[in-house]
Amino acid sequence: MNWEQLLSLKRQGDTSKRLRKEQDDTRLGFEVDYDRIIFSSAFRSLQDKTQVIPLSKTDFVHTRLTHSLEVSVVGRSIGRLVGKKIIEKYPHLQEIHGFHMNDFGAIVAAACLAHDIGNPPFGHSGEKAIGEYFSIGNGQKYKDQVTEKEWQDLIDFEGNANGFSVLTSSRPGNEGGLRISYATLGAFMKYPKESLPKKPTSAIADKKYGFFQSDKAFFEDVAQELGMISNKSGNDIGFERHPLAYLVEAADDICYTIIDFEDGMNLGLVSEDFALEYLIKLVKDSIDTKKYHALTTKEDRISYLRALAIGSLINDAVRVFMENETDILEGRFPHALTDKSKYKAQMDDIIKLSVKKIYQSREVIEKELTGYQIINTLLDKFITAFNNDFDGKATNFDKLLLKLLPEKFHVEKNNLYDRLLHICHFISLLTDGNAFIFYNTITAAKS
């Protein structure tokens, strides 16, 4: 892979080439990506989607929106630091093509901003609930009516693939979705493969999948424009990662490791003594002991350590990336950057404690159980109504239910897979609160 291609400013539907040296630096194309994501309804819905504590209304616990904003800030810093070093290593990128170090930061920040945009309500349990509706729920009956890869899309419903669809899917009057630059889409694609074969290797890029069968053609177009390296054969589609996808992943890893841990402390799920013991291992080389002891509140002490810890992890991610940049460009780096971090043991310890104290806390488990019930019910009712309407067999209840669909979802889908995915897509874009309202409305109507 080469950076000139990887930094493509092309957008879906373009008929002419966009050159960096011809860009208006007051509103660079990569920054337009960020703006379009910020102003999208899918991004706004993240304000009421679970990060750690489902349906939490406490003022200091992160939602998907605050998490995404923080990941984008960390990603911008990592991107700029890497960009500075890349420009120094390949000066022709600036001298001939006009790229600047801030371009890297802008691409990574935009991709980070969107990294959770396809996640369903109720956190990762929402993804599992959608998948299990098809694998072990009432949706099993559709298995023999779709292809093997389409079925895998459904039973392993993936927020990353759904996010790609949110950013790129066309509808009447809105061709090309948000029309994000190909460079930003490349950085967004952490798992540039289809749902099958499942985990064909232990490489990080094969851990999950990054696009639905319905988006396959455009996904291939993006990967080929960027010069990404194909790593699958026959009828299977998959590529080595865009290098900047490693930076997006690192920013997310850093934030959820440190900030989810901070949420646990603020909620009292992790004691301050435990927290300080774990965080100080990350910041022992940079902590100002005098300043730390002058802080009089728990919140200030935690915030100070959090900031130092994130700074340490950012610098180390940049180090790992640059030490392996050649291998990354050649598609020979099958790891997450944090897997090669000198702080990996400390991060693993924090995640292990978070799993025990936060992710498996009673409050989280109770709310996730509620989410399972809500999503299963919504899928069953809306899929039944949508299919009955297509077959000309809609009941009065079905017709009333379909009137609840937002206007943009009132479209015909002639293919069963497309209809199933359409309803999954609708439910995935609901906030936690709106999913709860829909559930109460439907169950009250049926009782």
Mapped to the 3 state alphabet, what secondary structure does the chain carry?
Answer: CCHHHHCCCCCCCCCCCCCHHHCCCCCCHHHHHHHHHHCCHHHHHHHHCECCCCCCCCCCCCEHHHHHHHHHHHHHHHHHHHHHHHHHHCCHHHHCCCCCHHHHHHHHHHHHHCCCCCCCCCCHHHHHHHHHHHHCCHHHHHHHHCCHHHHHHHHCCCHHHHHHHHHHCCECCECCCCCCCHHHHHHHCCCCECCCCCCCCCCHHHCCCCCCHHHHHHHHHHHHHHCCCECCCCCCCEECCCHHHHHHHHHHHHHHHHHHHHHHHHCCCCCHHHHHHHHHHHHCCCCCHHHHHHCCCHHHHHHHHHHHHHHHHHHHHHHHHHHCHHHHHCCCCCCCHHHHCCCHHHHHHHHHHHHHHHHCCHHHHHHHHHHHHHHHHHHHHHHHHHHHHHCCCCCHHHHHHHCCCCHHHCCCCCCHHHHHHHHHHHHHCCCHHHHHHHHHHHHHHHC
Residue 58 has pLDDT above 60, yes or no: no
User: What structural domains and CATH numbers belong to the chain?
Assistant: 3-113 (1.10.3210.10), 121-156+362-447 (1.10.3550.10), 246-361 (1.10.3410.10)
Instruction: State the pLDDT at residue 83.
Output: 98
Which stretch of 155-159, 176-180, 355-359 has the lowest confidence by average pLDDT?
355-359
pLDDT at 49: 86
Range with the largest mean pLDDT of 15-19, 48-52, 130-134: 130-134
Mean pLDDT of 187-216: 97
For the cut 60, the answer to whether the pLDDT of residue 56 exceeds it is no
The whole-number pLDDT of residue 361 equals 78
pLDDT at 78: 98
362 confidence band (pLDDT: 50, 70, 90) = confident
Does residue 173 surpass a pLDDT of 70? no
Answer yes or no: is pLDDT of 152 > 90.
Answer: yes
> Which residue did the predictor score with more confidence, 204 or 177?
204
Whole-number pLDDT of residue 203 = 97
Q: What is the pLDDT of residue 416?
A: 98
What pLDDT sits at residue 446? 60
Give the residue-averaged pLDDT of 329-352.
96
Q: Is the pTM of this model over 0.85?
A: yes
User: Residue 360: is its pLDDT beyond 90?
Assistant: no
Q: What pLDDT, on the 0 to 100 scale, is given for residue 309?
A: 94
303: pLDDT strictly greater than 80: yes
The pLDDT assigned to 55 comes to: 47
Of the candidate ranges 65-69, 242-246, 299-303, the one whose mean pLDDT is the lowest: 299-303
pLDDT at 81 over 90: yes
Confidence of residue 380 (pLDDT cuts 50, 70, 90): very high
Q: What is the pLDDT of residue 445?
A: 64
Q: What is the mean pLDDT of residues 287-303?
A: 88
Q: Return the pLDDT at 260.
A: 82
Residue 335 clears pLDDT 90, i.e. is over it: yes
